[in-house]
């Protein structure tokens, strides 16, 4: 009997091919689908939600075809607490959360990895497009996928060395169209052409404001839309309807293009300014997690400003940066209290629309060093 591995199966083509590759390689495979929330009663189209009943049956059918055991893990309580409620609260505090990164850290590689250990599995495998390599030192490196158009390393920065030692990403060295869908077609998988999931899985039509209003049972409070000089330009129907960098749908008539440059949840105001006001040369990030060996990276950080590359959004090109520990006064400008370690990241080139609450991820070439939550933009 081969090494036992728990395979996260969503019913989609990526996880199905993952299960096929590992079972064909001789692993002792167990398939599992997470039940994350009740899409059928949430207002979300069940056909487009993670862990919906149809997806569970699709995953079960693939497992049956491959001859591997299959189970469903009820993660609804943890998902409600750690992802959905955290998502709503972050918006209410004036930040833009990244629920996919949180779900990976707390649910997929938290609860699911714990479940794998309970089943006596050495590894948890998923259909993410990323790679894990073991180095000569014995430590592990989280790396970008070969298929750069599908690379998901940005969302996986929260994986620690302990977790990386027990995860497998079989698709990291493959391409989606040239390899994964071809393998699915060649082996007659009915989901070979199934479309990829998009958007926030639990939010109907990506309408965050309506979702939060329905969840809280009340309309969002109205407030002022102001200019960078505090002049009142209009009224909004809820500050969370706006995102830093937004230009369209502002509800304000102006002689020149205006953009959302800030959201103040305490004052319940939305600030508009010129595109130049969106540019930032640096940011402060907290809640830091090192994917690379923490002692080595911390030593590099202490020796001098760490030279690295950074991304502040998914699919962004790598941006050259210098990294150092943030000073307490630099953290005071954030919309929320600092959590954990805070770093200051200075960009070689100014960045547009740095959004508090989003993830910033550091890279050394293809290797993920770590990442954290953007607390605020910073001046020179």
Catalytic, out of 103, 121, 331, 376? 103
Decide if 201 is catalytic. yes
Contact 319, 348 (CB under 8 A): yes
Alpha helices in the chain (DSSP H): 13-24, 39-42, 53-66, 76-79, 85-92, 99-103, 112-118, 161-164, 181-186, 208-216, 294-303, 328-331
Contact 342, 297 (CB under 8 A): no
Helix, strand, coil shares of the chain, percent, nearest 5, are 30, 30, 40
Conformation bin of residue 204: beta by default, left when phi > 0, alpha when psi is -120 to 50 = beta
Catalytic entry in 29, 121, 201, 331 = 201
Separation of CA 261 from chain center: 23
Pick the closest to residue 17 from 176, 197, 201 (CA basis). Answer: 176
CA dist., res. 87 & res. 90, Å (int): 5
DSSP state of 327: P
Pair of tokens at residue 149: 């158009």
Closest alpha carbon to 15 in 55, 53, 73, 72: 55
Q: How far is CA 40 from the centre of its chain?
A: 24
Catalytic residues: 103, 201
């Amino acid at each position: 009997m081969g090494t036992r591995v728990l395979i996260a199966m969503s019913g989609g083509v990526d996880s199905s091919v993952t299960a096929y590759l590992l079972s064909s390689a001789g692993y002792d495979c167990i398939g599992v689908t997470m039940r994350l929330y009740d899409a059928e009663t949430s207002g979300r189209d069940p056909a487009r939600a993670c862990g919906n009943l149809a997806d569970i049956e699709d995953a079960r059918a693939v497992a049956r075809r491959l001859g591997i055991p299959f189970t469903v893990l009820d993660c609804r309580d943890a998902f409600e607490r750690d992802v959905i409620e955290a998502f709503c609260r972050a918006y209410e505090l004036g930040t833009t959360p990244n629920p996919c990164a949180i779900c990976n850290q707390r649910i997929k590689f938290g609860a699911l990895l714990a479940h794998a250990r309970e089943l006596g599995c050495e590894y948890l495998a998923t259909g993410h497009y990323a790679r894990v390599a073991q180095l000569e030192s014995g430590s592990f490196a989280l790396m970008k996928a070969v298929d750069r158009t599908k690379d998901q390393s940005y969302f996986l920065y929260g994986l620690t060395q302990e977790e990386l030692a027990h995860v497998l990403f079989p698709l990291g060295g493959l391409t989606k169209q040239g390899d994964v869908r071809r393998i699915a077609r060649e082996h007659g998988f009915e989901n070979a052409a199934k479309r990829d999931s998009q958007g926030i899985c639990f939010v109907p039509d990506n309408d965050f404001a309506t979702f939060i209003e329905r969840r809280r049972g009340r309309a969002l409070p109205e407030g002022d839309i102001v200019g960078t000089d505090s002049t009142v330009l209009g009224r909004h129907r809820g500050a969370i309807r706006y995102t830093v960098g937004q230009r369209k749908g502002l509800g304000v008539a102006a002689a020149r293009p205006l953009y959302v440059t800030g959201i103040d949840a305490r004052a319940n105001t939305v600030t508009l300014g010129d595109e130049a006001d969106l540019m930032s040369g640096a940011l402060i990030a907290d809640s830091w997690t090192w994917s690379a060996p923490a002692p080595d990276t911390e030593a590099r950080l202490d020796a001098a400003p760490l030279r690295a590359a950074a991304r502040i959004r998914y699919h962004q090109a790598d941006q050259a940066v210098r990294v150092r520990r943030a000073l307490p006064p630099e953290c005071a400008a954030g919309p929320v209290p600092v959590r954990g370690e805070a770093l200051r990241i200075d960009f070689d080139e100014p960045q547009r629309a740095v959004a508090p609450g989003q993830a910033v991820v550091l890279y050394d070439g293809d290797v993920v060093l770590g990442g954290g939550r953007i607390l605020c933009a910073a001046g020179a």
